[in-house]
Amino acid sequence: MTQKIVAALLPILFVILYLVPLSVRPLFDQDETRYAEVPREMIATVDWVVPRLNGLRYFEKPVLGYWLTAISLKTFGENNFAVRLPSALATGIVALLIFLLCSSCYGREAELRWLAVLVYLTSLGVTAIGTFAVLDPPLALFLTATLTTFFLASEEQPHSTRERILLFVAGLLVGCAFLTKGFLAFAVPVLAVGPYLLAQGRWRDTLRMLWLPLVGAVLISLPWAILIHQREPDFWNYFFWTEHVRRFFSQSAQHTQPFWFFLAVLPAMFMPWTLLLPAACTGLWKLQKPAGPQTRLIVFCLCWFFFPFLFFSASNGKLVTYILPCFPPLAILTAIGLMSNRQNIKAKSVQYGIISLAALAIGACIVLTGSQLLGPETLHLYDQPGKWIVLAGSLALMFLLLVVSMKVTRDRQLVLYALSFSLVLFTAPFAMPTMTLNMKAPGPLMQRNLAHISPDTTVLVGEENIRAVCWYLKRDDILIIEKAGELQYGVNYGEAKQRFLSPAATGDFVRQHKGKAVIIATHKEYSRWQPFLPTPVTLDRNSKDGFLVAYY
């Protein structure tokens, strides 16, 4: 691998994959609009302590993730790019930390540090989540920074000043992770560090190396923790028991999935490198492992990946984004396996992965083209020819690059392998099916109705899209119909109960406020409420199964 070429390629690849697509598609409901709206309300109310959504108390997460987005909104304006930028930048900084960690053990001339970054940035799950406005990329950043700093500390002379500084910094970083997503921030480092120190025979250090990180975490967390307790004394009770204990153990937790869920989704999330994992595992297994920092890094990454992965799997509530912190060690291990002792990896084991990816590319291209040109209309993913032609073209070009990669040296082969898949990663946001946008993104519908919804119009919505309505209308006084969902805690406060209406009460309300009431809902919600509602004056919808705006 020509290091200078890859060094120049990676920043360009980051810009193309992570920054260029940020403004391409509208915000998806519910996650992206949630993590846009809470920071917007912080800015509008100049209240940076208590998170609110639709003006209601919203205690599902701490504040640092909201602060990062709010800073982006203040800097770049209230737009899609600003909302998603913190996720993209967090992903880029994680890539730099991977580079630093590999360099510390393999030296500045090591080729695998570039490959580890390349593996991370071109993995499907990392790219998808890293261009999506959620809290998982900032959390992954702070956890990766914590564990990187701790590993560097563990390599220093015990009791040295440098070790103590690094441990204290690790504590500050884990405190930032706590302020991003809560007590999970402590579980992941402990699950990675504890087994690693035990595996190194350093069991006494498990206590000795604990107190400085704990001090750092407390110092960074305590100011806001005290402020939120003073303002909202019930915050910590709700946040700990409902958002952590119930979600982890309860059978009725949100997003309940079986134990094996993450094991099933990981191969898809780690594409295209999943297809090269057999070769990487072979390289790791046959790798000469003398005692030294390189071997310790391998053991550390194994602990970092497996034990947090098992922890996430044990939780009853699961989303694919939760395992993002497991991807940095997986990328490092994959790079080490592919690059170290390459003579132990038969060329065919890598070529099998390339052939498999080429087969998937050409197969997807044929299926997409055939369904659009020859299949019935019900199989058409796209109603705009330009989109599917662009996607099919990227799949075809991906296939050609993979064919070329079969005839070059191993180092260049891996670079071409990553670049070929990057074509599809880059194209995907531009080639999003219209059906998906209609079902997930109410933004275009909202924007064409903004001029018709005056500030004195009462807006009533269902729980499914209240975040989007607040964001696009720039309002926090929306009435909620039928279900409060994640806003139930905020609605339960006495002064907020009047913001919640049953479907029958909604029908009475719009009859009494003719010309001054608008309902915005999904088609499914509106179908449930229709028996209680009068006939709307006008009704605008983006599709038969998407979102609608009904004027009364």
Same domain, 314 and 236: yes
Q: What is the pLDDT of residues 191-233, one digit of tens each?
A: 999 999 999 888 888 888 888 999 999 999 999 999 999 999 9
**Of 315, 344, 373, the domain-final residue:** 344
Same domain, 229 and 335: yes
Please, what's the largest Cα pairwise distance for the chain? 80
Task: Render the burial of 52-62: b for 16+ CB within 10 Å, e for the rest.
Answer: bbbbbbbbbbb
Give the whole-angstrom CA distance, residue 302 versus residue 124.
21
Domain assignment of residue 158, yes or no: yes
Give the HSE-up count for residue 43: Cα atoms under 13 Å, Cβ half-sphere.
Answer: 20
Cβ pair 365, 399 in contact under 8 A: yes
| pLDDT at residue 36, as a whole number | 97
Q: Which amino acid is at 101?
A: L
- Provide the residue range defining the domain that includes 455: 442-551
At residue 381, φ and ψ (nearest 5 deg) are -80, -25
Domain assignment of residue 115, yes or no: yes
Cβ pair 500, 441 in contact under 8 A: no
Give the whole-angstrom CA distance, residue 237 versus residue 368.
51
Same domain, 358 and 335: no
| pLDDT at residue 545, as a whole number | 85
519 three-state secondary structure: strand
Report whether pLDDT(146) > 90: yes
156 three-state secondary structure: coil
Give the whole-angstrom CA distance, residue 461 versus residue 131.
28
Same domain, 89 and 234: yes
Same domain, 16 and 77: yes
Higher pLDDT, 376 or 156: 156
Q: What is the pLDDT of residues 509-542, one digit of tens each?
A: 999 999 899 999 999 999 999 999 999 999 999 9
Report whether pLDDT(1) > 90: no
- 239-248, 330-339, 368-377 — most confident range: 330-339
Give the whole-angstrom CA distance, residue 536 versus residue 164.
67
Q: How confident is the model at residue 30 (pLDDT cuts 50, 70, 90)?
A: confident
Q: What is the DSSP string of 411-431?
A: HHHHHHHHHHHHHHHHHTTTT
Token digits for 445?
């519908």
**Average pLDDT, integer, range 286-313:** 89
Give the whole-angstrom CA distance, residue 86 versus residue 137.
8
Same domain, 366 and 408: yes
Bridge partner residues of 423 (DSSP): none
Domain assignment of residue 392, yes or no: yes
How buried is residue 443: exposed, middle or buried, by Cβ count under 10 Å (0-12/13-18/19+)?
buried
Same domain, 198 and 337: yes
Same domain, 390 and 414: yes
Domain assignment of residue 247, yes or no: no
Domain assignment of residue 126, yes or no: yes
**Of 294, 325, 344, the domain-final residue:** 344
Token digits for 233?
């004394």
* Sheet strands (E) in 375-488: 458-462, 479-481
Q: How confident is the model at residue 285 (pLDDT cuts 50, 70, 90)?
A: confident
Q: Which residues contact 77 (CB under 8 A, 6 or more apart)?
A: none
Q: Which residues contact 149 (CB under 8 A, 6 or more apart)?
A: 166, 167, 169, 170, 173
Higher pLDDT, 234 or 94: 94
Domain assignment of residue 248, yes or no: no
Report whether pLDDT(317) > 90: no
DSSP classification of residue 1: -
Token digits for 460?
């009533």
CA end-to-end distance (rounded Å), the chain:
65
**Of 317, 344, 371, the domain-final residue:** 344
**H helix runs in 232-374, sequence order:** 235-240, 247-249, 261-269, 277-285, 293-314, 327-339, 347-373
| pLDDT at residue 375, as a whole number | 66
Same domain, 259 and 390: no
Spatial CA neighbour of 365 closest among 336, 342, 391: 391
Cβ pair 309, 326 in contact under 8 A: yes
Q: How many domains in the chain? A: 3
CA dihedral sign of residues 101, 103, 104, 105:
positive
Domain assignment of residue 98, yes or no: yes
Same domain, 193 and 323: yes
Same domain, 130 and 165: yes
Query: What is the signed CA dihedral for 340, 344, 348, 349, rounded to 10 degrees?
Result: -60
Q: What is the pLDDT of residues 377-410, one digit of tens each?
A: 666 677 777 888 899 999 999 999 999 988 887 7
Give the whole-angstrom CA distance, residue 137 versus residue 131.
9
Same domain, 231 and 262: yes
**H helix runs in 15-51, sequence order:** 31-45
Token digits for 212?
């400085």
Pairing assessment for the beta strands 547-551 and 538-541 based on DSSP bridges: antiparallel
The pLDDT > 70 percentage for the chain reads 94
Give the whole-angstrom CA distance, residue 500 versus residue 511.
17
* Beta strands across the sheet bearing 538-541: 500-501, 479-481, 458-462, 517-522, 547-551, 538-541
Token digits for 472?
């696009």
Planar angle of CA 157, 160, 163, nearest 5 degrees: 80
